[in-house]
A and B are shown apart, each in its own frame.
Chain A
Amino acid sequence: MLTKKVKINETVHDFDENLTIIQACELSGIQIPRFCYHERLSIAGNCRMCLVEVVGGPPKPTASCAMQLKDLRPGPNGEPPQVLTNSEMVENARKGVMEFLLINHPLDCPICDQGGECDLQDQAMSFGLGESRYTEDKRTVEDYDLGPLVATHMTRCISCTRCVRFTTEVAGIDQMGQTGRGEDSEIVTYLSHTLDSELQGNIIDLCPVGALTSKPYAFTARPWELQKTDTIDVMDGIGCNIRVDSKGNRVMRITPRENHLVNEEWISDKSRFVWDGVRVQRLDTPLKKVEGNFMPTSWEDALSIASKRMENGNTTFVAGDLVNVEALYTASKLSEHLGSAKILGDLDTTCPLKGRSFYVGNGKIEDLDHSKNIFLLGTNPRKEASVVNARIRKAWINGADVYRLGIQENLTYDVKELGVSLFDLQIFFDKMGSKKSFWTNTIFLVGYSFLSSKVAGTALNTIRAYVERFDLKFLVLHQNASAVGSLDLGFEANVKVKQELFKETKTIYNLGCDTLEVDQGNFVIYQGSHGDRGAGSADLILPSACYLEEDGIFVNTEGRMQYARKAIQPPGEAKENWKILRALAEKLGYVPNWLDLNGLRNALFDELPLISKPGEIIEVPWKAVEKQKKLSSKIPLPGYVKNYYLSNSICRASKTMGSLARARNSLNLKKAS
């Protein structure tokens, strides 16, 4: 890295010479107004809002986003080049650009959803003229339909092309573009197709004006009346950082928070638009089954029924896919007290071997950025971890090779196919195994369909042997938010063992698992938030808070612990998950030595120091590979079979997710025909 001295206004700084002027200004604490420039997108330089003066440079202002420091000329006596961000020229340039931008921009801020958080509005306050000198006709542009998520008001568009660059570069769909030229240029999709991407919601955040806004959120709230809560998303195993905006006790929208280690600043559509499912289909009072019908009852009654059933032993605790660690921990303690089994109920998490170095690995999402080879083994990251898929795509654009074992599905980037079965993987290893230079900077991403194979243990060991030999990375991509947390707490994920444990059971304590198939003879207690499949098959229902309604810990697929915070109150009689379990524990004669959430967390951290540092991954000792066998299974690995938009109980309650699933189905039908 070569540094270069640059004088910004009156102070001289040392910068990496590859930085652009706007980045250097940012580093030295000077804010430059901008519309088209975005850190994570390519440079367009078409809004001209970031103009600065380069002393001794061309006698016109320079677009600071598109000028690198290394291109600046030193002064006549070798003094460092100077950039002015507050001179008269800059002031005039910004005013001029703003006036041009406002010429065709409608004055509809009072009815625009972007009002209050609009870049154009904010910057017009600083650089706008206050009154228009333009008396001619304004331009109007037709709106088009982008599907059920993004509303378009194209007259407001200032043609910054952030949406075009995002969809092309990050989301990897070549559908949006800018047609025409000059005043008549329009942002369009080809033949007005709706967007086919899991990340399209991000263009709402990227749009600096109100041209692209959220359809489900339309006209429901103003940004200044929203209460903002920083929390964690649970729609996939990534643990995307989100901000929940609520008004009263209603969630109005969800937006991403920046966290470079996890989700950069993108979230998937599922994470963003699932909030309308939070308020409907809720279990808001304890219910017991009387003669085949659910009857409302009191907490007291419900808990005593539950404790009576559980006292007799033979209870199995089943963890669902959206449960936080506190609830899992309390359930786990209770199961120890009762001497009963605890298993992972959701069908998408499995691991043949115990220990974090098997079910998490030593890799991080961040490692993808500088990987040379990325192996996708039995995983479809586009569906299972959409944000990670964008990150793999970024690595691919920067020259990484992506290899895939499994079903061929479109992942938005080119993939080198290894085959479909573990045997094909063995062939590849036999061929490339000894080439040391090939394996530098390699990461293996292992998914569910790989781990669910009958010989997954052997296969995992083969991979780990390579990881050990060449000092590589491997990361298991879990699909569910509670997967790593429950595995850390010792919930059983092995399908065979699970079946064994189920043989003896009489009472099932179901913690929000909707994919569990139970025999008629069992008494099922369902603790969960939504009236979905799991609740339907229950005999007793204990209503609980969902992920936006209670404080909790979630451990993401890398083993990173993150705090989710309470944004709204749970409806009706529903209570926090850990509280229900603690009350039940007391009834069963087990009194934990903690009373509140802090006490619970302290006890949890003492027992499980692995997850005691928020936002961090604590490295676990690497378990050495014991034995290694050749892989010979020729059974093809299954693909992603779930309905992506309807994968959990909250999604299934959401109207938006329903319409997305419908749109996707009809699109698939169209493609098939």
Chain B
Amino acid sequence: MLRRLSVNQPKEFSFSKTNLKWAKAQLKKYPKGRQASAVIPLLWKAQEQEGWVSKPAIEFVANFLDMPEIRVLEVATFYFMFHLKPTGSKAHFQVCGTTPCMLRGSESLIDVCKARINGKQNSLSADGSMSWEEVECLGGCANAPLVQIGSDYFEDLDKESFEKLISDIEIDEPPIPGSRIGRFSSEPLNMTKKYSRKKSSRENASIERYRG
């Protein structure tokens, strides 16, 4: 996939107060003169803050770590985990398309994405609130097929439950991460003995974000 900077770029970027404090702490992990080692965590933080890595963010990180901009650009374009285009303001769906998920029907999830968000991956929906992309194995094969939003997994999806997930997000109803068919973790589907289960927390990084 050809990875280039987005045509539309914001004017400027700077870390929020907490992130700046965090970034300064990161520098202390490395010996003097080796602060460039912190480039991936810092870019990741910038992406967490903005949803994607913009040109001003790259320049900010380069400046912050005292390294040439081209070196940061190299890192940002190398790793697919950095989004170089704006992602949905409410959610960016990362649909796993690797074999186990594909066998369990991830292709129908992608069809839903195409129909409801955008025909092309890494593109915004009409209102700019959502985007999607197909990713490689998310490591949740026992609960295939699954979708990642931010740092949350939504597992055991099918066409209907995924449609509902999208609808929930559309109406700002934060969905609970985890299995859509009610099983805990990756326990067998027909579990004879139910383990006691703590009430799921509603903590959810990406949903927190749009809730504000």
Query: Measuring CB to CB, which residues of chain A are less than 8 angstroms from any residue of chain B?
Result: 174-181, 184, 188-191
Contact = CB atoms under 8 A, between A and B. Distances in A.
8 contacts: A174-B68, A178-B74, A179-B4, A180-B78, A181-B78, A184-B1, A184-B3, A190-B73
Given A174-B69, A184-B3, 10 more contacts: A175-B70, A176-B70, A177-B68, A179-B3, A179-B78, A180-B77, A180-B78, A181-B77, A191-B55, A191-B69
B191 interface: no
A177 B71 contact: yes
Contacts of A179: 3-4, 73-74, 77-78
B2 A177 contact: no
A164 to B, nearest CB: 9
A174 B74 contact: no
Contacts of A181: 3, 77-78
A189 B3 CA distance: 15
A489 B49 CA distance: 71
A179 to B, nearest CB: 4
A361 B69 CA distance: 41
Contacts of B69: 174, 190-191
Interface string B59-83: 0000000001111011001100000
A189 B69 CA distance: 10
A420 B69 CA distance: 32
A184 B2 contact: yes
The 6 closest A-B pairs by CB, nearest first: A174-B68, A177-B70, A179-B77, A190-B70, A184-B2, A177-B74
Contacts of B78: 179-181
Interface of B: 1-4, 55, 68-71, 73-74, 77-78
A189 B1 contact: no
B160 to A, nearest CB: 37
Nearest to B68: A174
A152 to B, nearest CB: 16
A413 to B, nearest CB: 14
Given A179-B77, A180-B78, A181-B78, A174 B3 contact: no
Contacts of A175: 68, 70
A189 B70 contact: yes
A196 to B, nearest CB: 13
Contacts of B71: 174, 177
A180 B70 contact: no
Q: Which of B69, B71, B77 has the most CB of A within 10 A?
A: B77
B59 to A, nearest CB: 10
A175 B68 CA distance: 8
Contacts of A189: 70
A296 B70 CA distance: 57
B1 A177 contact: no
B67 to A, nearest CB: 8
Contacts of B70: 174-177, 188-190
Contacts of B55: 191
Nearest to A176: B70
A175 B1 CA distance: 23
A190 B77 contact: no
A178 to B, nearest CB: 6
A618 to B, nearest CB: 44
A184 B84 CA distance: 15
A176 B3 CA distance: 17
A175 B55 CA distance: 15
A486 B74 CA distance: 51
Contacts of B77: 179-181
Q: Which of B3, B70, B73, B78 has the most CB of A within 10 A?
A: B70
A190 B5 CA distance: 11
A174 B71 CA distance: 8
A46 B70 CA distance: 20
A174 B55 CA distance: 17
B43 to A, nearest CB: 14
B191 to A, nearest CB: 43
Contacts of A190: 68-70, 73
Nearest to B77: A179
A191 B74 CA distance: 12
A489 B204 CA distance: 84
Nearest to B5: A191
A601 to B, nearest CB: 50
Contacts of A178: 74
A178 B71 CA distance: 9
Contacts of B3: 179-181, 184
Contacts of A174: 68-71
A621 B60 CA distance: 57
Contacts of B1: 184
A121 B52 CA distance: 43
A174 B66 CA distance: 12
A460 B1 CA distance: 61
A178 B75 CA distance: 9
A31 B41 CA distance: 44
A565 B16 CA distance: 65
A280 B73 CA distance: 44
A646 B69 CA distance: 31
Contacts of B4: 179-180
B153 to A, nearest CB: 26
A178 B68 CA distance: 13
A180 B74 CA distance: 7
A61 B34 CA distance: 34
Nearest to B1: A184
A381 B2 CA distance: 41
Nearest to B58: A190
B55 to A, nearest CB: 8
A181 B55 CA distance: 19
A175 B69 CA distance: 8
Nearest to B3: A180
A184 B80 CA distance: 12
B71 to A, nearest CB: 6
Nearest to A179: B77
A616 B4 CA distance: 52
A191 B77 CA distance: 13
A180 B77 CA distance: 5
Contacts of A176: 70
A174 B36 CA distance: 14
A175 B73 CA distance: 11
Nearest to A178: B74
A145 to B, nearest CB: 16
A179 B3 CA distance: 8
A159 B81 CA distance: 23
Contacts of A180: 2-4, 77-78
Contacts of B2: 180, 184
A191 B70 CA distance: 9
B197 to A, nearest CB: 42
A621 to B, nearest CB: 45
A190 B73 CA distance: 8
A181 B75 CA distance: 10
B34 to A, nearest CB: 16
A188 to B, nearest CB: 8
A185 to B, nearest CB: 8
B121 to A, nearest CB: 16
A177 B73 CA distance: 9
Contacts of B68: 174-175, 177, 190
A176 B69 CA distance: 10
B94 to A, nearest CB: 18
A319 B66 CA distance: 48
